[in-house]
């Protein structure tokens, strides 16, 4: 027994968990920290924080996000948020956050009416900026924000995350390779049903999207903005639109004042569009489609082939190719999980799918890579301004009843 090592002696191998931890620490020490200042703690604040936490585990990047500070007006709420996600410190005034030398990038996750002021100040402070969509309340604000980040030379990006769904990225690849041929049609819908009740108030922390003063618009700037961004990324610019909107419930009680006020946002919007490449499009969005919580679909019809995608089955891309032999011609369902498909080599083995949260991880990874290469991560503020212009044109067209040029 004298030649047999006893437990705890130096000859014992380290537990696997400790070996992995040591490896992770060495990897972290080789990376450049990117200190994040998060402004806001709601749904998107959680989604982005989760992405910052996970990206280094799956993507080999030079930069490592560090959750340095979280900021919100409510000290109690932001402290709870910071404790949950591991932010080192908190602030209750975003201006104080921007004054800090230990903040490299700010993430703007607040109502739309606050984007402009924070972004302008952040650019002036030399901070990188990641901003929730839509970019601004309107095109004029968005242009001012673009000029500010461009003059300051700071990295910037807007969180249109559906570009980073692997199946949607694969659709982009197929289109760019010319597999569809000339594009004829683009159609997209985004349907929800959460605002149907007349008793639902507007305004306040949870329901600011129903308050026109905070949101700027309803489904157009919230849901259709996603559809439009994806569309112009896949199929190029839009030149003209013809739209109609409807506000089904005309008055709601404001949560902050208790007063019954006119509802200024659009509950539903549908519009026709013509792309610069000559293809035609239909877009529809509503929060009054009973039975649908987040049905986002798109279909593109080309000369040779068609594709379609559904958020409810987001890891699959449907594809039809007329060039196939007639005996086997038909719609096929591509399970986007193989390692040669966009982003999937970073995750699990083929056949195992990922989900909604991973789109944000992909966007963070692309942003970090852009800091290495010097190539901007899309969509930049300038890219997102194109979506803003189309949203404004849609609302103008709905009001005038006329076709509107972008």
Confidence (pTM) = 0.92
User: Same structural domain for residues 180 and 270?
Assistant: yes
> Do the domain assignments include residue 9?
no
> Do the domain assignments include residue 136?
yes
User: In the numeric block, which tokens belong to residue 273?
Assistant: 């569009």
Confidence of residue 206 (pLDDT cuts 50, 70, 90): confident
What is the rounded distance in angstroms from the CA atom of residue 245 to the CA atom of residue 324? 41
Tell me 348's DSSP state.
S
User: Same structural domain for residues 223 and 358?
Assistant: yes
What pLDDT score was predicted for residue 9? 44
Q: Which of 110, 129, 161 is the last residue of a domain?
A: 161
Determine the length of the chain: 406
User: In the numeric block, which tokens belong to residue 66?
Assistant: 């560090």
User: pLDDT at residue 113 above 60?
Assistant: yes
User: Same structural domain for residues 61 and 121?
Assistant: yes
**Which of 23-32, 106-115, 256-265 has the least mean pLDDT?**
23-32
Q: How many CB atoms lie within 10 A of CB 241?
A: 24
CATH number at residue 391: 3.30.360.10
> Do the domain assignments include residue 8?
no
> Do the domain assignments include residue 214?
yes
User: pLDDT at residue 324 above 50?
Assistant: yes
Q: Which of 123, 138, 161 is the last residue of a domain?
A: 161
Phi and psi at residue 301, to the nearest 5°: -110, 125
> Do the domain assignments include residue 3?
no
User: Same structural domain for residues 105 and 247?
Assistant: no
Enclosing domain of residue 139: 16-161
User: In the numeric block, which tokens belong to residue 261?
Assistant: 């006020």
Tell me 233's DSSP state.
H
Kindly provide the residue ranges of all beta strands, DSSP E only, lying in 247-294, ordered along the sequence: 251-253, 260-262, 268-275, 280-286
User: pLDDT at residue 25 above 80?
Assistant: no
Between 290 and 28, residue with greater pLDDT:
290
> Do the domain assignments include residue 236?
yes
User: Same structural domain for residues 220 and 343?
Assistant: yes
User: Same structural domain for residues 122 and 206?
Assistant: no
Q: How many CB atoms lie within 10 A of CB 161?
A: 23
> Do the domain assignments include residue 269?
yes
> Do the domain assignments include residue 29?
yes
Q: Provide the mean pLDDT of the chain.
A: 94
Strand pairing report for 156-158 and 128-131: parallel
Q: How many CB atoms lie within 10 A of CB 125?
A: 18
User: Same structural domain for residues 254 and 377?
Assistant: yes
User: Same structural domain for residues 271 and 371?
Assistant: yes
User: Same structural domain for residues 141 and 192?
Assistant: no
Q: Give the pLDDT mean for 245-270.
A: 95
User: Same structural domain for residues 365 and 249?
Assistant: yes
Candidates 368, 343, 340, 366; CA nearest to 354 is 343
User: Same structural domain for residues 174 and 296?
Assistant: yes
Residue with tokens 């030149």: 239
CATH number at residue 54: 3.40.50.720
Confidence of residue 24 (pLDDT cuts 50, 70, 90): low
pLDDT digits (tens, 9 = 90+) for 46-99: 999 999 999 999 999 999 999 999 999 999 999 999 999 999 999 999 999 999
What pLDDT score was predicted for residue 204? 87
User: Same structural domain for residues 291 and 172?
Assistant: yes
**Which of 11-20, 129-138, 349-358 has the least mean pLDDT?**
11-20
User: pLDDT at residue 315 above 50?
Assistant: yes
Q: Which of 161, 186, 211 is the last residue of a domain?
A: 161
What is the rounded distance in angstroms from the CA atom of residue 193 to the CA atom of residue 198? 12
Q: What total number of domains does the chain contain?
A: 2
């Amino acid at each position: 027994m004298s030649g047999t090592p006893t437990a705890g002696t130096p000859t014992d191998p380290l537990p696997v968990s400790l070996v992995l931890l040591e490896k992770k620490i060495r990897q972290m020490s080789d990376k450049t920290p990117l200190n994040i200042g998060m402004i806001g703690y709601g749904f998107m604040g959680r989604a982005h924080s989760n992405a910052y936490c996970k990206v280094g585990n799956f993507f080999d990047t030079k930069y490592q996000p560090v959750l340095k500070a979280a900021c919100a007006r409510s000290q109690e709420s932001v402290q709870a948020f910071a404790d949950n996600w591991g932010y080192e410190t908190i602030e209750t005034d975003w201006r104080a956050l921007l004054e800090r030398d230990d903040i490299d990038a700010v993430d703007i996750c607040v109502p739309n009416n606050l984007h402009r002021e924070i972004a302008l100040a952040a650019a002036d402070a030399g901070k990188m900026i990641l901003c929730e969509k839509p970019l601004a309340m309107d095109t004029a604000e968005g242009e001012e924000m673009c000029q500010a980040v461009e003059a300051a030379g700071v990295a910037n990006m807007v969180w249109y995350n559906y570009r980073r769904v692997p199946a949607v990225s694969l659709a982009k690849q197929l289109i760019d390779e010319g597999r569809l041929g000339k594009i004829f049609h683009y159609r997209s819908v985004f349907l929800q049903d959460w605002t149907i009740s007349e008793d639902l108030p507007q305004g306040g922390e949870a329901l600011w999207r129903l308050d026109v003063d905070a949101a700027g618009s309803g489904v157009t700037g919230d849901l259709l903005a996603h559809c439009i961004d994806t569309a112009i990324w896949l199929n190029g610019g839009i030149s003209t639109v013809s739209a109609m909107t409807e506000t089904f419930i005309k008055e709601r009680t404001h949560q902050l004042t208790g007063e019954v006020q006119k509802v200024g946002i659009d509950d539903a919007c549908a519009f026709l569009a013509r792309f610069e490449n000559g293809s035609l499009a239909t877009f529809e969005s509503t929060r009054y489609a009973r039975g649908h919580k987040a049905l986002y679909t798109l279909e593109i019809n080309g000369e040779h082939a068609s594709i379609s995608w559904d958020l409810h089955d987001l890891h699959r891309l449907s594809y039809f190719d007329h060039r196939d032999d007639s005996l086997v011609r038909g719609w096929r369902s591509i399970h986007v999980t193989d390692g040669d498909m966009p982003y999937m080599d970073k995750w699990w083995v083929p056949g195992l799918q990922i989900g909604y949260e991973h789109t944000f991880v992909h966007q963070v990874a692309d942003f970090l890579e852009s800091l290495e290469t010097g190539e901007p991560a899309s969509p930049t503020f300038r890219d997102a301004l194109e979506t803003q212009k189309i949203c404004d044109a849609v609302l103008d067209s709905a009001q005038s009843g006329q076709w509107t040029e972008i």
